[in-house]
A and B are shown apart, each in its own frame.
Chain A
Amino acid sequence: MDNNKFVEVKNLRKVYDNGHEAIKNVSFSVKKGDLVCLLGPSGCGKTTILNILAGLLNPTSGEILFDGKSVVEVASKDRQIGYVFQNYALYPHMNVLQNVMFPLTVGKNKKSKAQAREIAQKYMKLTQIMDIADQKPGNLSGGQQQRVAIARALVQEPKILLMDEPLSNLDARLRLKIREEIRSLVKSVGITTLFVTHDQEEALSIGDKIILFNDGVIQQDDLGENFYLEPNNYFVANFVGNPVINNFKITKSANELRTKYFTLDLAKLNQQRFKRQLVDGDYILSVRPENIIPEEGGVFHTKVADVELIGRERILKFNYDQVQGRSLVSLESSIKRGDEIDLKIRLDRAFIFTTDGERVY
C-alpha cells in the first residue's frame, strides 16, 4: 500500500457519445490525507473526472485505483466515497437530520435507527448544523445547505471525499469563510479530498496540491506556488495570477530580443533558466504585473492610461499591441493617470514561451 498514491489515475480517457473527447490520456495521483484541487476553466473536463472517480460516468479507457485497488468496475455505492454536489442535491422532502441519516438507512451501510442517528449527530455537530436538524432544505440558506451536504457526504465515513465546485453558489464573503471551514474540517477528519473549482484563488488557498486542466489535458500538477513561479506553459502562466500576466510579442535575432517598444540584451537574461537554446524567430515574453515596475531608466517608456486601486495595491495600466498592460505598485505610489514612466522588467522572473505555448525560459 502506497500512501503517496492513495488515489491513482492512469491514462484516463473519456469520449462522450456525441464524439467529444472530454478527457485525453490523463494520469495523476493523490497522497493519503491530502486536499487536492482540480482547477481549470469551464469545459476543461474537471467535473467529468470527478464523476468518473465517483462511478457516475464510465471511462472510455484507463485505470483508477483507490488504495491500490482498481475501482473501474465497482459501483458508486461500493467505492467508499462521499460526494458534495454543486447544487448540494439535498432531498427536499426530508429534514436535515433525515438527509444526513439517509446514507445510513439504505444499502450496505444500513444501521439501526438509533445508531444512524448517533453517527449523523456526530457529523452534524462537526459541521455545526445541530440547531437546524428539524428544518427542510428549502428553508435553509446556501451556506447551511452546504454544511448539510458535507455532513451527509461524511456520515458514511468514506475514504475519499469528492467536492464539485461546492462554493460556487455562495456569495463572496461566505465563500471565504466556508472554504476555510472545509479545509480545517477535512484536515481534522483526515480524509483524502478532491476539490473541483474554476477559481484559482480558491484552489491556491485551499489545496495542498493543484492539478490544472485545460481541454481535457493536465497542464500542470504541482504545489500552488509553482503555478506562479514556474508555470509549465503559456496557458498556465496566463490562467494563474491576478491581475493577469503581460505578454509581449518578441523576435529573437542574433543576441537581441526585440519588441515594438523595447529591446533586451540576451546576455542579461539568467542563462541557467533557459530550458533550451533559442533559435531565431518569434516568441512571447510574459511578465507578471509585479515584475514590471516603474523605475527611472527602465527599458519600456510608456504613458499611464489608467490607475486602479485594488486594496493594498494599485494597478497602473498602459497600452501596447492593442492590449492593456498592467504594473502592480504599492498603495503609496504617486503616479497618476497620464504620467510618462519608464518600466523595468525583472528578467530573472520573466518567462519566454514559443508561439505554441512551450516554455523555453
Chain B
Amino acid sequence: MKRIRLGVLLSYIILFIFAIVTVFPFIYMILGGLMSFQETTSIPPTLFPHHFEWSNYAKVFARAPFARYFFNTILTASITTIISLFNSLLGAFAMVNLNFKGKKIVQLVLLSLLMVPGEAIIFTNYNTIAHMGLLNTYIGLVLPFLTSIFYMYYLQSYFGSISTTIYKAAMIDGASDWDYIWKILVPMSKGGLFTVGLLSFISGWNSFLWPLLVTNEDTMRLLNNGLSSFASDAGSETQLQLAAATLTVLPILVLYLIFRKQIIKGVVRNDLKG
C-alpha cells in the first residue's frame, strides 16, 4: 500500500514539474506584458511586476497598426480555413466514394507530395506569387494554403470509417453526390471537419514566414510579423513585445477553451452499432 502511495505522489510531483515547465512561459508572457522595461530586463529577473503597467497595451496599439494586423489575420485565417476545408472535403469524398480512372495514381502522387516539407517549396511559391503580381495582396497571402493534402488525408480516414453502404443507400434513395455530401457526409463528420477547421485556423493565425516574404507594407502584415515592430537596431522594447504577444495568443486560447470538447471529440469516432 505504502509503495503505491509513494508512486502516486511521485507521479504527481513529475506532472506538477512538467505543468510548470509548460505553463510558465505563458504566465511570464502575461505578467511581462504588465511590467516596466527595467523589470523585464533586470537581473535577477523580476517575476511579478510591482505595478501593473496597463499603459503597455495602449502603447502597443499606438506604436503599430495592431488593429489592422488583427483584421488581416482574422481575414486570411478565415478565408484559408473555409476554402481549404471545402476543398479537402470534396477531395476526400472523391477519394473515398468515387471510382475514377487513375485514382490510385492520383492517390500515390498526393501521398508523395505530403512528404515534401513546406519550407522546401516556399521560394518557388514566392516566385510564383511574385510573377503573378500578387505581392502585398490578400490573395497572395492565402493562395498557397487554399488546399491541403494533409487535411484531405485526415478527412479521408474519417470518411473511410463511415460504412460504404450508407453511400450506396443514399444513391438508391435518389440522392446526388452533392445531396450526399451536404445532407449525410457533413452532418456525420462534424467532429472531423471541426478538427480540420480549427487546425487550419490556428496555423493561419500562427503563420509567420510566408506573410513576411510576400508583404512589405505595414498595412498588409499579420499579427506575428507585427511583433517585430517593437524591435529595432537600438534594441527591443521587451515589455511591449510581451504585451503584443499576449494579445496574439489570447484569441486562440479562447477558441481552444470554448471548443475543447469538440477538439477531443474529433479524434473519437461515433459509429452506429451493426
Contact = CB atoms under 8 A, between A and B. Distances in A.
A77 B175 contact: yes
A329 interface: no
A332 B163 CA distance: 51
Contacts, number: 74
B161 to A, nearest CB: 12
Contacts of A102: 170, 173, 175, 183
* Most B C-beta atoms less than 10 A away, residue of A76, A152, A169: A76
Contact of A87 (B163, B184, B270): B163
Nearest to B179: A106
Interface in A211-249: none
A83 interface: yes
Interface in B222-274: 270-274
B188 A81 contact: no
- Size class of the A contact interface (CB-based, 8 Å): 20 to 34
Given A77-B175, A103-B174, A156-B174, A89 B274 contact: no
Interface residues of B, number: 22
Contact of A106 (B166, B173, B188, B272): B173
A56 interface: yes
A71 B197 CA distance: 42
A156 B169 CA distance: 13
Contacts of A77: 171-175
Nearest to B274: A87
Given A105-B183, A106-B179, A107-B173, 19 more contacts: A54-B168, A77-B172, A81-B172, A82-B172, A83-B169, A85-B169, A90-B272, A91-B188, A93-B184, A93-B187, A93-B188, A102-B170, A102-B175, A106-B170, A106-B175, A106-B183, A137-B272, A138-B272, A152-B173
24 contacts: A54-B172, A55-B171, A56-B168, A77-B175, A85-B165, A85-B169, A86-B165, A87-B165, A89-B168, A90-B272, A92-B188, A92-B271, A93-B184, A93-B188, A102-B170, A103-B173, A103-B174, A106-B170, A106-B175, A106-B176, A106-B179, A106-B183, A107-B173, A169-B274
Interface of A: 54-56, 75-77, 81-83, 85-87, 89-93, 102-103, 105-109, 137-138, 152, 156, 169
